[in-house]
Amino acid sequence: MMGVSVREGDFYCNGAKEANGRTAPLCDTAVLIFITTRLGQQVRQRRLNRGLTQADLAALAGITRQKVIAIEKGDLSVGMLAYARILGALDCEFAVVPAAMPTLDEIQGVFD
């Protein structure tokens, strides 16, 4: 996997090059991992705040416990339908908001 390096506050993937030969911005995969991980953390916190186990939430959402675990881990293979079911079971919905760039602490280990 590619490593992450920082230059003047911007995030870059080591080895990824743009057409002009300059280092490319942060890899799309890293951003997706950051977003799904953050969403998974929010789902987990909402579940815990409601006093639900993973099995309870899975039953309410009509998905498997393994899928709940994958969502809470930020697994990129989880489809939108599973997210929609789990958020519905938690009385939540998706909202589109501008994303903040992750800090170094937040993306540490993404490429390990």
The three state secondary structure string of the chain is CCCEEEECCEEEEEEEECCCCCEEECCHHHHHHHHHHHHHHHHHHHHHHCCCCHHHHHHHHCCCHHHHHHHHHCCCCCCHHHHHHHHHHCCCCCCCCCCCCCCHHHHCCCCC
112 in a structural domain: no
Structural domains counted in the chain: 1
| Enclosing domain of residue 74 | 28-97
66 in a structural domain: yes
- Global model pTM greater than 0.75: no
For the domain that residue 33 is a member of, what is the CATH number?
1.10.260.40
111 in a structural domain: no
Encode pLDDT of 52-68 as tens digits. Answer: 999 999 999 999 999 99
73 in a structural domain: yes
Give residue 11's pLDDT: 43
65 in a structural domain: yes
88 in a structural domain: yes
